[in-house]
Structure 1
Amino acid sequence: MSRPTGGKLKIARWNLAGFREIRLSQPVADLVTEAAKQASAELGEGYVYSARPGRERYRALVFAQGAEAIRHERKHQALLRYATAHGFKLTTKEK
């Protein structure tokens, strides 16, 4: 049980199952899907999105589909520019 210490609340134990339940909830899925839908609309024709539940959280991807959109992406880096302009956290997989 948590109890106040010096005017601050001390968390004794995080409810990780509760966080997972929230991350997989329908309201969060709707927010993630709407953000991906808006991004693909703002990026223009040829940029599409895909959204689905993952093991730990709901996920969405926005990507260029079709030769013209792929060429546009390579030339203008529209996805990277959109992400940085909208404050997205960018990560890469390191091996």
Structure 2
Amino acid sequence: MLRPFPATVELLAERTEWPPPYDPDRPATDEVPSAAVRFDDMYVGAGLRLDTAARACDTRVRVTNEDRHDGVGDERVFARPSELVRDTGGGITGE
């Protein structure tokens, strides 16, 4: 994936100072009406996702294995979260 960018890879490898990748206090300030947690997600562990959702303000969680993390092209992926947003009083573009 990064083979076409060897100079960029070298610059990233040389960098020694990085900001923290995750701020555990941030979710408490976010307004996230709906979140999907996939138990078999190959990128993000379900435990971390559930913990993050529990820290967010009034987040309704949908736990599923119906789709994959990268399934955004499948119209079913957004159907249930959109319903959850609508049911909690959030606006959905296009309705």
Tell me whether the two structures share a fold, i.e. TM-score over 0.5: no
Structure with greater contact order relative to length (CA < 8 Å, sep ≥ 6):
2
Larger Rg over CA atoms: 1
Task: Please classify the TM superposition score into its range, dividing by the shorter chain length.
Answer: under 0.3
Kindly indicate which of the two structures has a greater share of residues assigned to strand: 1
